[in-house]
Amino acid sequence: MWLAGREGRLYARRGGHRRRAAGAGRRLTLRFTDRLVVTLAHLRLGVPHEALAVAFGVDRSTVTRAIGQVR
């Protein structure tokens, strides 16, 4: 119910329909298995985020976000 009201307010504020389809943003850089490996390596082995980022070819913030999602 709350979500329907929120969408109604957003519709009125935009003055029309959504400009992009739901879920049309950026895709995840790391797949779930990669996120799981990153999280386990950090928690069990104590590998720093920066080293994991270099190993997987992504930014450090991506590693931090992936660990937070899996935890």
pLDDT (tens digit per residue) in 10-59: 889 988 887 777 777 777 689 999 999 999 999 999 999 999 999 999 99
pTM above 0.75, yes or no: no
**Residue 63 neighbours by CB distance under 10 Å:** 28
DSSP letter (8 states) at residue 1: -
**Longest Cα–Cα distance in the chain:** 52
- Res 64 pLDDT > 90: yes
List the alpha helices (DSSP H) in 1-71.
2-14, 32-45, 49-56, 60-70
pLDDT at 29: 82
Q: Give me 20's structure tokens.
A: 């992009």
